[in-house]
A and B are shown apart, each in its own frame.
Chain A
Amino acid sequence: MKEIYLDNNATTKVDEAVFEEMRPYFCELYGNPSSMHFFGGQVQQKVDEARKRVAALLGASPDEIIFTACGTESDNAAIRSALEVFPEKRHVITSRVEHPAVLTQCRNLTQKGYRVTEIGVDSEGQLDMAELKAAVDADTAIVSLMYANNETGVIFPIEEAAAIAKAKGALFHTDAVQAVGKVPINLAASKIDMLSLSGHKLHAPKGIGVLYLRRGTPFRPFMVGGHQEKSRRAGTENAAAIIALGKACELAGENMAIENTQVKALRDRLQSELMARIPHARINGGAAERLPNTLNIAFEFVEGEAILLLLNELGICASSGSACTSGSLEPSHVLRAMGVPFTCAHGSIRFSLSRYTTEAEIDTVIRELPPVIANLRKMSPFGREFLKEQ
Chain B
Amino acid sequence: MWDYTPTVKEHFLNPRNVGDIPDADAVGEVGSLACGDALKLYLKLDDNKDKIVDAKFQTFGCASAIASSSALTEMVKGKTLDEALAISNQDIAEFLGGLPEEKMHCSVMGQEALEVAIAKYRGHEVAPHDHDHDHGPAYPDQEGTIVCKCFGITDVFLKKVIETNKLTTAEQVTHFTKAGGGCGGCIPRIKELIAEVMGKQESGEPRKRPEKLSNLKKMQMIQEVLERDIRPLLWADGGDLELIDIDGPKVQVAFRKACAGCASSGYTSRVVEQKLRDLVAEDIVVEEVAA
Contact = CB atoms under 8 A, between A and B. Distances in A.
B18 A378 contact: yes
A326 B174 contact: yes
A303 B61 contact: yes
Contact of B171 (A326, A328, A378): A326
B141 interface: no
Interface string A309-345: 1101100000000101111111100000000001100
Interface string B93-105: 0000000011100
A329 B66 contact: no
Nearest to B29: A381
Interface string B12-42: 1101001010000000010001101111100
B60 A302 contact: yes
A381 B103 contact: no
A382 B36 contact: no
Q: Bin chain B's interface residue count.
A: 35 or more
A286 interface: no
Sorting the interface of chain A by its residue count into under 10, 10 to 19, 20 to 34 or 35 or more gives: 20 to 34
B61 A306 contact: yes
A306 B63 contact: yes
Given A324-B36, A326-B175, A381-B29, A303 B62 contact: yes
Given A303-B37, A325-B103, A342-B34, A330 B66 contact: no
A346 B103 contact: no
A151 interface: no
Contacts, number: 85
A329 B151 contact: yes
B51 interface: no
A322 B38 CA distance: 15
Contacts of A343: 33
A305 interface: yes
A301 interface: yes
B49 interface: no
A382 B171 contact: no
A303 B13 contact: no
Nearest to B257: A111
Interface in B127-169: 131, 133, 150-151
Nearest to B183: A330
A381 B38 contact: yes
A273 B216 CA distance: 75
A306 B9 CA distance: 11
Contact of B181 (A328, A346, A378): A328
A101 interface: no
A317 to B, nearest CB: 11
Given A302-B60, A328-B181, A322 B36 contact: yes
A118 to B, nearest CB: 15
B60 A383 contact: yes
A303 B60 contact: yes
Given A329-B181, A379-B15, A380-B58, A346 B38 contact: no
Interface string A185-205: 000000000000000000000
B63 A381 contact: no
Contacts of B116: none
B36 A346 contact: yes
A108 to B, nearest CB: 10
Contacts of B61: 303, 306, 324
B62 A326 contact: no
Nearest to A331: B36
A264 B96 CA distance: 43
B102 A326 contact: yes
Contacts of A326: 101-102, 171, 174-175, 178, 181
A383 B12 CA distance: 17
Contacts of B175: 326
B26 to A, nearest CB: 16
B178 A329 contact: yes
Contacts of B65: 303, 306
B58 A305 contact: no
Contact of A382 (B2, B38, B62): B38
B182 interface: yes
Contacts of A329: 36, 151, 174, 178, 181-182
Interface in A11-27: none
A384 interface: yes
B59 interface: yes
Interface in A357-390: 378-384
B214 to A, nearest CB: 43
Nearest to A341: B133
B40 to A, nearest CB: 4
A306 B62 contact: yes
Contacts of A309: 2, 12, 63
A306 B18 CA distance: 15
A381 B58 contact: yes
Contacts of A380: 38, 58-60
A265 B78 CA distance: 56
Contacts of A310: 13
A109 to B, nearest CB: 15
Given A329-B182, A379-B59, A301 B150 contact: no
Contacts of A324: 36-37, 61-62
Nearest to A324: B62
A301 B33 contact: yes
A379 B20 CA distance: 10
B217 to A, nearest CB: 39
Given A326-B171, A382-B60, 16 more contacts: A301-B60, A303-B62, A305-B62, A309-B63, A310-B13, A324-B37, A324-B61, A325-B103, A327-B174, A329-B36, A330-B181, A379-B15, A380-B38, A381-B38, A381-B40, A382-B38
Interface of B: 2, 12-13, 15, 18, 20, 29, 33-34, 36-40, 58-63, 65-66, 101-103, 131, 133, 150-151, 171, 174-175, 178, 181-183
7 contacts: A303-B37, A306-B62, A309-B2, A324-B37, A380-B60, A381-B38, A381-B40
**Nearest 10 A-B pairs (CB), nearest first?**
A329-B181, A305-B62, A380-B60, A381-B58, A326-B102, A381-B40, A342-B34, A324-B62, A325-B102, A346-B36
